[in-house]
Copies of this chain bind each other. A is one copy, B any other.
């Protein structure tokens, strides 16, 4: 093939990606708006728009002409590293999407929108039966999708692949089993032998407007760029990259719990830094989703936990917090640090501490795999949920809202997504080991408000390359080894043994 032809193919390929990006950007806005400002009765018309646009995006992702570009470019040695990564990911998406009949995609998108609305209503009423019919449909779609994608051992593998390239039920179990065997006894040891920190200072009544203001300050502090983003209220926080230079954070605030809104903002801010740290050409090449969902989550956990729940952060943040809420003027950073690090079995995943969080994920991963394999039924989900909560965490949800209805994910068909949250914690701990080697004075710098050293490290090593590298490849480049859960176990054991005064 002549070089001129390759250049033409690459140009056509990029124009095809641009068409997809414009649609994706509109879809991201339609979705963000549905969660933030859309009036409730707007859902009917919105489902139609979203359904049609999703279908169009699907058509572009399986267009025969795209298949031709991908075939030609796969054999082209002159592509840049980024272009090759783009072709790798687009080809994978192309083949997965082509496996699904187009009519099913459109149908799925319409039901997805209705299902999400039903979940919102069910959660408000704390009544699973309001959500059950639509969740049944969503599980059925997921099972059909898994069959269409194909898998070797377990249908859930086909769904995991969409969020964490290369991950399987078998590998997940090899991570989960030893982790559970270490975390559950450690959780019990903390409960029986340790002295829990006093959390009373972060409980009480905290004006939501002031919390919103505090969240903005926290986002500013970590370097989130408001000229290329925004902060809005939602029921279930998320971050969305509507486009390059338009990366939006959403958050929610609980009047009686200061930490919910603060750590929610730091968490979403961590995701947003990842997307704000990518150059524009990665957006153009559709590599702006990041290396994987787990790596994306590692960036939010890095900011939320490894920065936000550590003592140096509170040394700097205590006077800032006291500026917004004067009742903290006489509370020391150490008391605040300890107050935000209670380990206790809890009902709500997003409020869970660093030790028990992964147990919430294991529960969900297990239920998802069983649902997809057809081993359990949607109608029995509240019962299975409550039994698993009792088994893993020793507590039973008093109602559906604080149990099976707490997460948005299933309502939008994100089966296979939850494991990313656990993997994010593990990746983040492994990166942190390396960061501490590279930046031995990091704690001292953070304690005086110099967060830049940390954010610059992740920007350089993680954010700037977006989705260029696969997770294992990225971890090996950054830390010298693929995923290794021992960093996380060592991190929580050291941190919480100290806080709880274990010998």
Contact = CB atoms under 8 A, between A and B. Distances in A.
Interface of A: 18-19, 22, 25-26, 29-30, 33, 36-42, 44-46, 48-49, 52-53, 225-230, 232, 242-246, 248
B227 A46 contact: no
A26 B53 contact: yes
Given A29-B29, A44-B245, A245-B44, A229 B39 contact: yes
B25 A29 contact: no
Nearest to A244: B45
Copies in the complex: 2
Contact of A37 (B37, B44, B244): B37
A41 B246 contact: yes
6 contacts: A25-B45, A37-B230, A38-B230, A39-B245, A44-B244, A44-B245
Contact of A48 (B22, B48, B227): B22
Contacts of A53: 22, 26
Given A22-B49, A246-B45, A232 B37 contact: yes
A40 B36 CA distance: 19
A178 to B, nearest CB: 44
Contacts of A52: 19, 22
Contacts of A36: 37
Nearest to A36: B37
Contacts of A242: 42, 45
Interface of A is mostly: helix
Contacts of A29: 29-30, 33
B39 A30 contact: no
A226 B40 CA distance: 9
Contacts of A30: 26, 29
A252 to B, nearest CB: 17
Contacts of A41: 225, 227-228, 245-246
Contacts of A48: 18, 22
Nearest to A27: B26
Contacts of A45: 25, 242-246
Given A29-B33, A40-B227, A42-B246, 11 more contacts: A25-B49, A26-B49, A29-B30, A37-B248, A38-B246, A39-B228, A39-B248, A41-B228, A42-B243, A45-B245, A46-B246
Contacts of A22: 48-49, 52-53
A42 B245 CA distance: 5
Interface centre among A44, A242, A243, by most B CB within 10 Å?
A243
A243 B46 contact: yes
A36 B18 CA distance: 26
Nearest to A209: B209
A228 B42 contact: yes
Interface centre among A49, A226, A232, by most B CB within 10 Å?
A49
Interface centre among A40, A225, A246, by most B CB within 10 Å?
A246
Contacts of A44: 244-245
A491 to B, nearest CB: 35
A102 B248 CA distance: 33
Interface centre among A19, A29, A38, A225, by most B CB within 10 Å?
A29
Given A25-B49, A26-B30, A45-B25, A39 B230 contact: yes
Task: In the A-B complex, list the 6 residue pairs whose CB atoms are closest, starting with the nearest.
Answer: A45-B243, A42-B246, A41-B245, A41-B228, A22-B52, A22-B49
A55 to B, nearest CB: 10
A457 to B, nearest CB: 24
Contacts of A40: 227
Given A30-B26, A30-B29, A227 B39 contact: yes
B243 A49 contact: yes
A41 B247 CA distance: 10
Contacts of A227: 39-41
A52 B18 CA distance: 10
Nearest to A247: B39
Contacts of A229: 39
A232 B39 CA distance: 12
Contacts of A25: 45, 49
A209 to B, nearest CB: 8
A227 B121 CA distance: 14
Contacts of A243: 42, 45-46, 49
Interface centre among A30, A42, A52, A225, by most B CB within 10 Å?
A42
A46 B245 CA distance: 10
Contacts of A245: 39, 41-42, 44-45
